[in-house]
C-alpha cells in the first residue's frame, strides 16, 4: 500500500501536462508542414507525395505513442520505426523538390518535422524515460535529415532553434525526474505516517464509542445492584455483572475480531500480501467507513476489491493504481482506478466471469452495486458500493 506525497503528485501532473501539450503541439506543427507543402508544391504533387506521406507517418507514430502510454515495447518499437520511415520519406522528397543551392538541414520543413518529433518524445513519461526518448528522437531525426540532405548535395548545418527546443525540453524533463526520485526517497516516512494517522483516527473513534457503551453498562449495573433486595443474587444478575467485569478487565482496545480490526486487516492483506512486482497502489479516503458495514456487505465489497486488484496485477500493465474509500449517509463506496492499457468492455466474452460474477453479482447480492468503465489505452475505473445498516445510517445523519 502506498500514498503519494504532494511533491510526487505535482511532478506526475506536470509530466502528464507536458506529454499532452507536446502531442498536440506536434500535431499542429505536422499539420502546418503538411498544409505548407500542399500550397508550395501543388503543381508538383507527382513528386511531392512522399513529403506528405512522411508527415502523415510521423503523425501516426506520435498517436501510437500517445495511445500506448503504458509503454508496451512492441508499440514503442513500431512507433519508432514508423517515425523513422516518415522522416526519411519527407527528407528524400525535399532533396528532390528543393534546389541543391538552397537545400539545408535548417529549412522550415525540417525544423517543423524535428521539433514535432522532439515533442512527441515526451509521451513515454510514465516509464520515467521521457528525457532519453526526446534525446534519441532528436539525434536520430537529425542524422536521417543530414544523410538525406548530404545525399542531395545540400548544406548540412546546425538548426539552432530546434537545438534550443530540444535542450529546454530535456532540461525540464531531467529536472522533473530528479525531483521525483528525491521525493520518492523521502516518502516512505510520509506513507507510514499517513497510514498510521488514518488508522489511529479510526481506532480512536471506535475506542470512544466502546468507552461510552461501557460507561453506560457499568452505571446500569451499579444502579441495579443498589436496587437489589437483601439476600442471594439471582444467577441472571450474576452473569450480567460478571460480563461487565470481564469487559472492564479487557479494557477498550480494538479486538482483531471487531469490524474495524477485520476491515483494517483485510485491506492490508489485499494490498500488501502481493509480490514486489505488483502494481503500486495508493490508498486514500475514509478507511474506517468499511467498519460501519454489516458483515456480509463488508465481505462483498472487500472480495470485489480483491478481484479488482487481481485484475490490475494480471491484465492492466499499469504503472500506478488508486483506491479511494468514501462514505455517504446510506452507502460506502470504494473507487479503484489504474492508468493501464484498458479494454473494450463490450468485447468481453460472455463466459468471462471476472466482472460479472466476482464484482457485480457479489455486490448486487447484498443490495450494492459494481460499475466498471474502461477503454483501450484509457485505463480502467471500478466503483464498488454497499449499503450501510439502518443503524449506521441514522448515526451518520445525526452527526
Domain boundary among 184, 206, 221: 184
DSSP track, 329-365: SSEEEEEEEE-S----GGGS-TT--TTIIIIIIHHHT
Domain boundary among 161, 184, 207: 184
Is 194 part of any domain?
Answer: no
Query: Do 265 and 177 fall into the same domain?
Result: no
Residue 186 CA: distances (Å) to CA of 14, 181, 321 = 20, 9, 20
What per-residue confidence (pLDDT) applies to 3? 44
CATH number at residue 368: 3.30.565.10
Is 198 part of any domain?
Answer: no
Would you state the cell numbers that stand for residue 275, as one nine-digit string? 509480490
Q: Residue 281 phi/psi, 5° resolution?
A: -120, 125
Taking the C-alpha atoms of residue 274 and residue 310, their distance in angstroms, rounded to an integer, is 10
What per-residue confidence (pLDDT) applies to 127? 57
Taking the C-alpha atoms of residue 21 and residue 148, their distance in angstroms, rounded to an integer, is 30
Task: Give strand pairing partners of 1.
Answer: none
Is 91 part of any domain?
Answer: yes
Angle between helices 130-151 and 73-97 (to 10 degrees): 30
Total domains present in the chain = 2
Q: pLDDT averaged over consecutive 10-residue blocks of the chain (399 residues)?
A: 52 74 90 92 90 94 77 77 92 88 87 91 71 88 90 86 90 79 59 56 50 51 59 63 58 41 55 70 80 86 84 84 87 90 74 63 88 85 89 48
Q: Are 33 and 109 in contact (CB under 8 A)?
A: yes
Instruction: Report the relative pairing of strands 369-374 and 321-327 from DSSP bridges.
Output: unpaired
What per-residue confidence (pLDDT) applies to 58? 94
Is 229 part of any domain?
Answer: no
Instruction: Report the relative pairing of strands 281-285 and 321-327 from DSSP bridges.
Output: parallel
Is pTM beyond 0.95 here?
Answer: no
* Domain ranges, residue 373: 256-399
Would you state the cell numbers that stand for residue 196, as one nine-digit string? 498510521
Domain boundary among 139, 167, 184: 184
Would you state the cell numbers that stand for residue 130, as one nine-digit string? 521521457
Amino acid at each position: 500500500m502506498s500514498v503519494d506525497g504532494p511533491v510526487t503528485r505535482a511532478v506526475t501532473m506536470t509530466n502528464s501536462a507536458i506529454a499532452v501539450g507536446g502531442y498536440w503541439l506536434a500535431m499542429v506543427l505536422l499539420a502546418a508542414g503538411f498544409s505548407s507543402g500542399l500550397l508550395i508544391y501543388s503543381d508538383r504533387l507527382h513528386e511531392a507525395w512522399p513529403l506528405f506521406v512522411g508527415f502523415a507517418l510521423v503523425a501516426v507514430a506520435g498517436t501510437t505513442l500517445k495511445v500506448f502510454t503504458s509503454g508496451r515495447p512492441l508499440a514503442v518499437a513500431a512507433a519508432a520505426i514508423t517515425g523513422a520511415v516518415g522522416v526519411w520519406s519527407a527528407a528524400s522528397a525535399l532533396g528532390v523538390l528543393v534546389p541543391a543551392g538552397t537545400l539545408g538541414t535548417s529549412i522550415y520543413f525540417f525544423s517543423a518535422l524535428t521539433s514535432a518529433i522532439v515533442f512527441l518524445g515526451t509521451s513515454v513519461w510514465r516509464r520515467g524515460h521521457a528525457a532519453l526518448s526526446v534525446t534519441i528522437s532528436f539525434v536520430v531525426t537529425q542524422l536521417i535529415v543530414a544523410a538525406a540532405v548530404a545525399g542531395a548535395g545540400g548544406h548540412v548545418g546546425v538548426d539552432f532553434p530546434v537545438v534550443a527546443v530540444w535542450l529546454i525540453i530535456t532540461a525540464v524533463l531531467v529536472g522533473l525526474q530528479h525531483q521525483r526520485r528525491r521525493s520518492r526517497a523521502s516518502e516512505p516516512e510520509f506513507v507510514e505516517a499517513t497510514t498510521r494517522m488514518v488508522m489511529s483516527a479510526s481506532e480512536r473513534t471506535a475506542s470512544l464509542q466502546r468507552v461510552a457503551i461501557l460507561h453506560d453498562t457499568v452505571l446500569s449495573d451499579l444502579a441495579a445492584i443498589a436496587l437489589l433486595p437483601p439476600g442471594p443474587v439471582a444467577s441472571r444478575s450474576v452473569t450480567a455483572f460478571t460480563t461487565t467485569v470481564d469487559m472492564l478487565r479487557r479494557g477498550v482496545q480494538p479486538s482483531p475480531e471487531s469490524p474495524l480490526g477485520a476491515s483494517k486487516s483485510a485491506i492490508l492483506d489485499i494490498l500488501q500480501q502481493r509480490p514486489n512486482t505488483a502494481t503500486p497502489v495508493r490508498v486514500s479516503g475514509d478507511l474506517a467507513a468499511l467498519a460501519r458495514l454489516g458483515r456480509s456487505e463488508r465481505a462483498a465489497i472487500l472480495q470485489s476489491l480483491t478481484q479488482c486488484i487481481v485484475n490490475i496485477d494480471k491484465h492492466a500493465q499499469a504503472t500506478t493504481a488508486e483506491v479511494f474509500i468514501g462514505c455517504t449517509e446510506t452507502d460506502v463506496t470504494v473507487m479503484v482506478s489504474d492508468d493501464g492499457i484498458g479494454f473494450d468492455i463490450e468485447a468481453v466474452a460472455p463466459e468471462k466471469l471476472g466482472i460479472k460474477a466476482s464484482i457485480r453479482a457479489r455486490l448486487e447480492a447484498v443490495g450494492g452495486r459494481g460499475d466498471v468503465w474502461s477503454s483501450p489505452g484509457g485505463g480502467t475505473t471500478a466503483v464498488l458500493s454497499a449499503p450501510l445498516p439502518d443503524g449506521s445510517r441514522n448515526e451518520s445523519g445525526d452527526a
